[in-house]
């Protein structure tokens, strides 16, 4: 039933979707980006929260509603910028301190990602390699850095498009998500996209990254020195694009 097969399908117009494709390509994964037409606009408000898309397919609608049900949307319209550091050697001994898992942190993180035009949702918790870092406040984050901005003047959109072109990432224009395809074990097997040539069924071996169909971005030029990164939290399905500056770890 599949018309094509890749590792990752990134659907939507959000910059984090393109960033996911770039990070996946850097991990030697095959990727496709489905970019909707410029005329696309957000769906009317409904049971799905934030930028999670609404679709007529019952299984797809139920999937997005389950992810967004009762989840608040904390608006974060600007591109987040913060300092972070890579912790020292990790102690793997029996007396090593284990990071406390707090579900409320994932709840708050998902709400902030859903309220940001730079947010993204993954259909799998484990995807491509990330590096464990900490914010200056001590919070643990998982980071996939795309590249460092070496010169100023370019906008985020132009910068991401350049990175994608350098990696020969296939971007299909005028393509929107029609429905998610679930396998026999209820895991997501792929998607069906609406394209100018008709439905296109694409199997996603690793998973699907979903962003908004249309986003309003602040297109201020990027400053040199920042590392454009996908940021998530361990066990979280949601992430967002941020500008990180790596700093020295605080003295213990």
CATH of the domain at 44: 3.50.50
In order of 53, 62, 64, 67, the CA distances from 58 in angstroms are 13, 6, 10, 14
Question: Is 246 inside a domain boundary?
Answer: no
Does residue 93 fall inside a structural domain? no
Question: Is 16 within the bounds of a domain?
Answer: yes
Over the stretch 41-72, which tens digit does the pLDDT of each residue have? 555 544 457 899 888 899 999 999 888 877 88
- Whether residue 137 lies inside any domain: the answer is no
Torsion angle in degrees (nearest 10) through CA of 147, 152, 153, 154: 0
Indicate the pTM of the whole model.
0.88
What's the structural domain count of the chain? 1
- Find residue 5's DSSP bridge partners: 203
Q: Is residue 92 part of a domain?
A: no
Task: Report the run of H or E that residue 82 belongs to, with start and end.
Answer: strand 80-85
In a domain, 86, yes or no: no
pLDDT one-digit tens code per residue, 213-234: 888 887 888 888 899 999 998 8
Averaged confidence pLDDT in the chain: 87
Range of 199's domain? 4-79+103-130+147-224
């Amino acid at each position: 039933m599949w018309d094509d097969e890749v590792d990752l399908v990134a659907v939507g117009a959000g910059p984090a979707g393109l960033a996911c494709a770039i990070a996946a390509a850097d991990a030697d994964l095959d990727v496709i980006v489905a970019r909707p037409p410029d005329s696309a606009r957000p769906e009317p408000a409904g049971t799905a929260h934030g930028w999670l898309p609404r679709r007529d397919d019952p299984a797809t609608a139920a999937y997005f509603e389950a992810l967004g049900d009762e989840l608040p949307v904390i608006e974060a319209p600007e591109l987040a910028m913060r300092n972070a550091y890579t912790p020292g050697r990790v102690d793997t001994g029996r007396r090593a301190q284990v990071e406390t898992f707090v579900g409320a942190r994932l709840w708050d993180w998902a709400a902030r990602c859903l309220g940001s035009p730079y947010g993204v949702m993954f259909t799998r918790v484990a995807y491509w390699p990330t590096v464990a870092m900490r914010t200056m406040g001590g919070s643990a984050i998982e980071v996939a850095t795309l590249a460092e901005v070496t010169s100023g003047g370019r906008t985020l959109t132009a910068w991401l498009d350049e990175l994608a072109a350098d990696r020969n990432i296939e971007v299909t224009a005028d393509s929107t998500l029609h429905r998610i395809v679930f396998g026999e074990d209820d895991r997501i097997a792929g998607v069906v996209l609406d394209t100018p040539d008709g439905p296109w069924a694409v199997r996603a071996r690793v998973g699907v990254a979903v962003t908004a169909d249309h986003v309003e971005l602040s297109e201020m030029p990027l400053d040199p020195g920042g590392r454009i990164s996908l940021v998530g939290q361990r066990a979280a399905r949601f992430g967002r694009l941020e500008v990180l500056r790596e700093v020295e770890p605080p003295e213990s």
